[in-house]
Structure 1
Amino acid sequence: MTGRGGPAAVPQQKPAADARTPKRLPPGGQRGGPPWMGAGMPAERSMTFLPSARRLLGRLRPQRARLAAIIALAVLSVGFTVTGPKILGYATDLIFAGVLGRQLPAGTTTEQAVAAARASGDDGFADLLARMDVVPGVGVDFGALGRVLLLALALYLGASALMWWQGWLLNTVVQRTVYRLRTDVEAKLNRLPLPYFDRQPRGELLSRVTNDIDNISTSLQQTLSQLLTSLLTVVGVLAMMFWISPLLALVALVAVPLSVVVTGQIAKRSQKLFIAQWTHTGELNGQIEEAFTGHGLVKVFGRQHEVEAAFTAKNDELYQAGFGAQFVSGLIMPAMMFIGNLSYVAIAVVGGLRVASGTMSLGDVQAFIQYSRQFTQPLTQVASMANLLQSGVASAERVFAVLDAQEQSPDPEPPARVSDPRGRVEFANVSFRYAEDEPLIEDLSLVAEPGHTVAIVGPTGAGKTTLVNLVMRFYELDAGRITLDGVDVTTLTRDDLRGRVGMVLQDTWLFGGTIRENIAYGRPDATEQEILAAARATFVDRFVHSLPDGYDTVIDSEGSNVSAGEKQLITIARAFLAEPSLLILDEATSSVDTRTEVLLQRAMAALRSDRTSFVIAHRLSTIRDADLILMMENGRIVEQGTHEDLLAAKGAYHRLHQSQFTAAPAPTSASV
């Protein structure tokens, strides 16, 4: 696969044994067990709730104008809503006054009726009449009552319309914010160095990019509007309650500090459980992804029971964390309802006494009882949203951990240019190590002349793949320098450097698309004739015509509808089409049959002509004709020369050659 396009080349680079990638530890730091047992690790650092919540809300800043409109609509909507009970209380007073008025003798005045009640010793009834606008002998004024009820209906309809408009704007704000967050994460992934992906299980990373961002979207969508409306409702209702009766307002406020204390204590415990829940979700995703990707190997080695056991153990951990988080946070709602009901009872008792004493009207008490419900309801809603809010912030922490990861060093400004591209590569005193205390390559120097083929051989872990990764700047040097046509590769942009390199790996990578599109990935602007020429030169054309749709055959993301050898041929055609000045072949023919390998050797001979090639090989038969063979052991070049020279030297290369081409001696009776 060509490096044209820069970071697009990175996803297919997998840590190989040669690279001595730092080993991942399974949760708890225990070594051992099958590979999938180590999938998923907790976030590198944990942020507290408030900083994460502030940072998440800070991402809404570009939508300031819409947020201002949302707040204005919420204020109007809540204003209409909290005015409704007061108006309905006035309607109750009209009905009650009409009922009392009909019971009083016509022709008398209200003052006379009050005086008669006091004279009969009924001071409570007299106080009640004095408080109300009663016309003796006249019943309910249905005209006035109708006008009051129409006003209340208009207010509630207006509040509903404004709330709908607010919800529409809020949905726009949230979706645009999440869209930007996904874009930022995608851009960040392209700026991260390859070692970051080596350390992160793919399933865990995918969970952060998909599940966690979706959870943030849901949390913002369901909490922002409700929180805003609830807080405004509390303020508006509180103002109306103090206007109607300061005494009853104080009785209602007694429940607030108690509610805050209860909610805070429960939320503090549930937040840790929500972080654990989403951490275990990412770990489980990583475990499933690794196990199912290697499903064939699991079957071959009969490790189904181990996979099931590992899945069950991790699933149990997720169950425990999820159950605990939901159960603990679920305690908030019944606790708030209990406190609210206590407040409701106290208001009903005190309000009834004040009506009986004539200090409040029945309509005001009715309105106040509605306000007490409206007062406790938003507090209960806020409490019930605590679990969703905490879950969203926990997911935000995990996404922010990706956004905060250390990026690769920036490209130089201004970058250098290769004025005479010929493909000469020089390593000068290069040193590199993956871990501080484990040297791998020390003081290595070599020169690959233009047009030459340099073969790199050696045992597993010798540093062969590391060598070419350093050329591509997938990793940065600890010391020394690498030059391409006399220009230090660190002074070139990564896109420019990788755009000059074609790469074919042992592990093939194809994306979901047609065969034609996969070949053209090496050079998107290639013509149809150039694509076909590359396919014929690399013998892709041989098997394509046996497929139902030819070059338009769609390959799925796993490439399961073509054989391993055919996938390798397509990747070689991709590199052929790119026409790079530097070619890297890492065991490129390991997946093809012997006859196809012979044909590919001819094709790659044409591909390597007039360009420098690095060929990593374990099978020495594939690199006999190389211009220079480097024999590596423990990160050092122990021998170099042509095939014949190295055989004649009777050194490490000769021993490796003998191990591959000399038959093992038959066991003797003595050895048996």
Structure 2
Amino acid sequence: MLWNGRRETTGDDGNRARAISRGASHLFNLGGPILSLVSGTTALQQGLGALARIEEVREMETEDDVDVTPARPTGPPPEVVVENLEFAYEGRTPTLKGTRFTAPAGAVTAIVGSSGSGKTTVFSLIQRFYDMDGGSIRLDGTDIRSLSRADLRRRIAYVEQDSPMLAGPLRENLLYSAPDATDEAVAEVLRKTLLDEFVAGLPDGLDTEVGARGLALSGGERQRLAIARALLREPQVLLLDEVTAHLDGLSELAMRKTVEQAAENCTVLLIAHRLSTVTSADQLILFDDGRVGDHGPHRELLERNDLYRELAATQLASAR
């Protein structure tokens, strides 16, 4: 009702207003618990997913021949012979279909080809992360299946595209794979990987902190340090998987020199999409749909092979 030009609240109106106020208050108080319930449900689903994945990993078959420390391999670098290699991932069409090639001892063999042609799969089989379905891989005539995985992997060093660095000093990152390496051995691999001057210019030398995942280093420095770490193990075979994929021109040039130095003491197999990285290799192996389409020096392949010429033209176009 109106009284003196103002609306007076009747008893019913007042009750309604108080009821609305109480309802809004209850609704507001429920907001927190509802939000917590939704967050808890989300966390529960994430936890169940993680638990399922943990169970999958726990039930995986384990390798029973790796928990030993084999002796350091001796002798010259071996010839790597891949003969009629057959392999298919579970539930998929064959990845390798009679692949065969030879990587000469103490030389750089570059493997090139389009994505999905089986290059990285060959590296996985050389290290026996998987066992081949057919064919063989031999190191100086010895079938790798006759060696324990520990013995085989002691002869091989693998550097991947994004090589991990641990938070801590350079020295600990280098010695991670060879804790008993001497100062002289460390100095030698730094020279071979063209890192000796870089380390000498650091304020704390080898005791300089690299930061989490090596963030204090450039991409080229991280990759060369990864190769130095691999060489400290004194492997007979060095596998390099796309180590120049994200490097600039100057870093790539330094990496090419590093690879050439590494080949003085081991057989090097190198995967690369950037052909500028591999033109100086002793031989190139061209993969085409799980098979070796051709092999030979860069200039010969460029002259006679259409697929290689197409790959080279694509690389030159993308470099502009």
Please indicate, yes or no, whether the TM-score normalized by the shorter chain is above 0.5.
yes
8 A contact 2:169–2:206 mirrored in 1: yes
Query: For 1:653, what is the secondary structure of its paired residue?
Result: helix
Question: Shift of the alpha carbon at 1:608?
Answer: 0.7
8 A contact 2:168–2:210 mirrored in 1: yes
In 2: Cα distance, 1:401 partner to 1:610 partner: 43
Q: CA 1:562–1:599 in 2, change beyond 3 Å: closer, same or farther? A: closer
Point out which structure has higher relative CO (alpha carbons under 8 A, 6+ apart): 2
**Alpha-carbon deviations, 1:29-69, whole Å to 9, x = none?**
xxxxxxxxxxxxxxxxxxxxxxxxxxxxxxxxxxxxxxxxx
Question: Shift of the alpha carbon at 1:448?
Answer: 1.6
Question: Shift of the alpha carbon at 1:610?
Answer: 4.6
Match of 1:429 among 69, 80, 84: 84
Query: For 1:513, what is the secondary structure of its paired residue?
Result: coil
8 A contact 1:421–1:485 mirrored in 2: no
8 A contact 1:639–1:652 mirrored in 2: no
Question: Shift of the alpha carbon at 1:432?
Answer: 0.9
Match of 1:495 among 145, 150, 174: 150
Structure 2 residues without counterparts, runs of 5 or longer: 1-35
Question: Shift of the alpha carbon at 1:453?
Answer: 1.8
* Structure with greater helix percent: 1
Question: Shift of the alpha carbon at 1:403?
Answer: 7.0
8 A contact 1:411–1:492 mirrored in 2: no
In 1: Cα distance, 2:239 partner to 2:173 partner: 19
In 1: Cα distance, 2:251 partner to 2:54 partner: 48
Q: CA 1:404–1:534 in 2, change beyond 3 Å: closer, same or farther? A: closer
Structure 1 residues without counterparts, runs of 5 or longer: 1-314, 324-390, 666-672
* Structure with greater strand percent: 2
8 A contact 1:411–1:491 mirrored in 2: no
Query: For 1:565, what is the secondary structure of its paired residue?
Result: helix
8 A contact 1:522–1:574 mirrored in 2: yes
TM-score with structure 2 setting the length? 0.76
Q: CA 1:645–1:504 in 2, change beyond 3 Å: closer, same or farther? A: same
In 1: Cα distance, 2:75 partner to 2:202 partner: 43
Q: CA 1:514–1:400 in 2, change beyond 3 Å: closer, same or farther? A: closer
Question: Shift of the alpha carbon at 1:617?
Answer: 0.9
Q: CA 1:542–1:436 in 2, change beyond 3 Å: closer, same or farther? A: same
Q: CA 1:477–1:627 in 2, change beyond 3 Å: closer, same or farther? A: same
In 1: Cα distance, 2:298 partner to 2:149 partner: 34
Larger radius of gyration: 1
Question: Shift of the alpha carbon at 1:625?
Answer: 2.3
In 2: Cα distance, 1:487 partner to 1:577 partner: 24
Match of 1:506 among 155, 161, 180: 161
In 2: Cα distance, 1:399 partner to 1:659 partner: 40
Question: Shift of the alpha carbon at 1:545?
Answer: 3.8
Does residue 538 (structure 1) correspond to residue 193 (structure 2)? The answer is: yes
- 1:432-581 map, 5 Å: 432-581=87-236
8 A contact 2:220–2:252 mirrored in 1: no
Question: Shift of the alpha carbon at 1:472?
Answer: 0.8
Question: Shift of the alpha carbon at 1:421?
Answer: 5.5
Match of 1:644 among 286, 293, 299: 299
Query: For 1:438, what is the secondary structure of its paired residue?
Result: coil
- 1:615-626 map, 5 Å: 615-626=270-281
- 1:129-208 map, 5 Å: none
TM-score with structure 1 setting the length? 0.38
Does residue 410 (structure 1) correspond to residue 64 (structure 2)? The answer is: yes
Percent identity (aligned): 35
**Structure 1 range deviating more: 531-540 or 488-497:** 531-540
Match for 1:611: what amino acid?
C
**Alpha-carbon deviations, 1:101-150, whole Å to 9, x = none?**
xxxxxxxxxxxxxxxxxxxxxxxxxxxxxxxxxxxxxxxxxxxxxxxxxx
8 A contact 2:111–2:287 mirrored in 1: yes
8 A contact 1:432–1:442 mirrored in 2: yes
In 2: Cα distance, 1:419 partner to 1:523 partner: 16
In 2: Cα distance, 1:431 partner to 1:317 partner: 50
Question: Shift of the alpha carbon at 1:513?
Answer: 2.2
Query: For 2:213, what is the secondary structure of its paired residue?
Result: coil
8 A contact 1:508–1:567 mirrored in 2: yes
**Structure 1 range deviating more: 644-653 or 655-664:** 655-664
Q: CA 1:437–1:603 in 2, change beyond 3 Å: closer, same or farther? A: closer
Tell me the residue number matched to 1:590.
Answer: 245
**Alpha-carbon deviations, 1:563-617, whole Å to 9, x = none?**
2222112112112322211111112233443223323322321211253211111
Question: Shift of the alpha carbon at 1:662?
Answer: 5.3
8 A contact 1:503–1:583 mirrored in 2: yes
Tell me the residue number matched to 2:41.
Answer: 320
**Alpha-carbon deviations, 1:385-407, whole Å to 9, x = none?**
xxxxxx9xx99x76982674122
Question: Shift of the alpha carbon at 1:420?
Answer: 6.0
Query: For 1:507, what is the secondary structure of its paired residue?
Result: coil
In 2: Cα distance, 1:446 partner to 1:539 partner: 31
Question: Shift of the alpha carbon at 1:440?
Answer: 1.0
Match for 2:195: what amino acid?
V
8 A contact 2:100–2:291 mirrored in 1: no
- 1:63-462 map, 5 Å: 319-320=40-41, 401=55, 404-411=58-65, 422-462=77-117
Query: For 1:558, what is the secondary structure of its paired residue?
Result: helix
Q: CA 1:631–1:316 in 2, change beyond 3 Å: closer, same or farther? A: farther
Q: CA 1:488–1:317 in 2, change beyond 3 Å: closer, same or farther? A: farther
Query: For 1:584, what is the secondary structure of its paired residue?
Result: strand
In 2: Cα distance, 1:593 partner to 1:458 partner: 21
8 A contact 1:450–1:610 mirrored in 2: no
Tell me the residue number matched to 1:331.
Answer: none
